[in-house]
């Protein structure tokens, strides 16, 4: 396999997860050593999900009186004067139910809740370390949505950062993995509103409520006065436009696909045709 990294990007409901799974299956059919990481994977090798960045003082304040102190310390990774604490992974694996007070203390230091420049610093370093490790392996990784979606979401949606900062964030990640000869598959749809309403009906109401709050209760949405589902769609339209501009700036091999037909058999064949030259 020529590429060691395949990136699947696009807006919510556009078919990223299905596409990533099909790509992984097609590679496996050709005996490619492949590893798939979908959105939210707590074991992700290039991203952080459910990881907090705590100073030693913050760690002590959160866990000094807790019976879980030693457990959290053993899982934590020292980075300079700070500790990276994979709190969601620890809680899931050991079935720990933290008190609301402790959880909120940790969550406020989640890497995706930190000030933007600190977030960029940690995430960029994470991708850089992944790039070095992956270069020494024979594995081809398949990532869903963390390459463009996460940087754009945190910098534009959450913090309403200038477009050049958002673009530069993604370009820094590109630089970290360019030597892996990555392939980016960017998925588009013709009718964003229809797709989002469909996805909203298919998912739990808690997902929709959290999504709308994230997109309209802070950053870009809040500062532009967008509200509710329709306001969320307006933010998504701006995000889509910005992502398209970023895609055009990238120097890695990129294929933009339209998935409006929802024909899985045809989609699978299209993906097979795309992957064949890389095999």
pLDDT of 225-247, one tens digit each?
999 999 999 999 999 999 999 99
Q: Are residues 69 and 161 in the same domain?
A: no
Confirm whether 112 is domain-assigned.
no
For 276, the 3-state DSSP assignment is: helix
Percent of the chain with pLDDT over 70: 100
What is the pLDDT, as a whole number, of residue 1?
87
* Chain centroid offset of residue 80 CA: 25
In this predicted model, what pLDDT tens digit does every residue of 182-201 receive, in sequence order? 999 999 999 999 999 988 88
Q: Is the pLDDT of residue 254 over 90?
A: yes
Under the banding of pLDDT at 50, 70 and 90, the label for residue 262 is confident
DSSP secondary structure string, 159-205? Answer: T---HHHHHHHHHHHHHHHGGG--EEEEEE-S-HHHHHHHHHHHS-H
Percentage with pLDDT > 90 across the chain = 91
Residue numbers of the domain that contains 82: 52-107
Residue 133, pLDDT > 90, answer yes
| 88 and 219 together in one domain | no
pLDDT reported for residue 92: 96
Q: How many domains does the chain have?
A: 2
Instruction: Tell me the average pLDDT of the chain.
Output: 96
Q: What is the domain-level CATH number for residue 144?
A: 3.40.50.300
pLDDT at res. 152 = 98
Asked if 94 and 200 sit in the same domain, the reply is no
Mean pLDDT of 106-133: 98
In a domain, residue 95? The reply is yes
85: tokens are: 């604490």
pTM greater than 0.75: yes
Residues 127, 191, single domain; the answer is: yes
Tell me, yes or no, whether 279 lies in a domain. no
Question: Using CA atoms, how far apart are residues 131 and 134, in angstroms rounded to an integer?
Answer: 5
224 and 134 housed in the same domain: yes
Same structural domain, 189 and 231? yes
Q: What is the mean pLDDT of residues 109-116?
A: 98
CA dihedral 256, 261, 262, 264 (to 10 degrees): -80
Whether residues 99 and 229 fall in one domain: no
Say yes or no: 101 and 141 in one domain: no
CA dist list (Å): 43 to 30, 119, 163: 25, 18, 30
CB-neighbour burial class of residue 1 (10 A; exposed 0-12, middle 13-18, buried 19+): middle
129 and 162 inside one domain:
yes
Residue 28 in domain: yes
Strand, coil or helix: 38: coil
Predicted local distance difference test score (pLDDT) of residue 203: 86
Order across the sheet with 183-188: list the strands: 34-37, 140-144, 5-10, 183-188, 253-258
pLDDT band at 64 (very low <50, low <70, confident <90, very high): confident
The verdict on 206 and 157 lying in the same domain is: yes
- Residue pair 69/98 in contact (Cβ under 8 Å)? The answer is no
- The set of residues, in sequence order, having a beta carbon less than 8 Å from that of 218 and lying 6+ positions away, is 157, 158
């Amino acid at each position: 396999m020529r590429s060691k990294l395949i990136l699947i990007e696009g807006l919510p409901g556009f078919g990223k997860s299905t596409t990533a799974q099909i790509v992984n299956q097609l590679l496996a059919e050709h005996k490619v050593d492949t590893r798939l990481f979908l959105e939210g994977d707590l074991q992700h090798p290039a991203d952080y999900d459910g990881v907090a960045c705590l100073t030693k003082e913050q760690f002590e304040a959160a866990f000094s009186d807790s019976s879980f102190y030693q457990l959290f310390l053993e899982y934590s990774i020292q980075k300079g004067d700070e500790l990276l604490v994979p709190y969601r992974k620890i809680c899931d694996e050991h079935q720990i139910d933290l008190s609301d007070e402790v959880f909120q203390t940790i969550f406020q230091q989640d890497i995706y809740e930190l000030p933007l420049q600190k977030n960029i610093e940690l995430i960029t370093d994470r991708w850089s370390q992944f790039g070095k490790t992956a270069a020494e392996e024979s594995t081809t990784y398949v990532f869903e949505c963390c390459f463009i979606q996460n940087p754009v979401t945190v910098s534009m949606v959450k913090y309403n950062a200038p477009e050049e900062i958002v673009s530069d964030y993604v370009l820094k990640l590109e630089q970290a993995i360019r030597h892996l000869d990555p392939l980016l598959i960017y998925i588009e749809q013709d009718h964003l509103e229809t797709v989002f309403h469909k996805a909203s009906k298919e998912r739990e109401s808690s997902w929709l409520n959290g999504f709308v709050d994230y997109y309209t209760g802070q950053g870009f949405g809040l500062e532009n006065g967008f509200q509710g589902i329709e306001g969320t769609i307006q933010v998504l339209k701006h995000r889509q436009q910005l992502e398209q501009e970023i895609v055009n700036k990238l120097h890695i091999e990129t294929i933009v696909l339209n998935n409006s037909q929802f024909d899985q058999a045809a989609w699978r064949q299209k993906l097979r045709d795309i992957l064949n030259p890389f095999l």
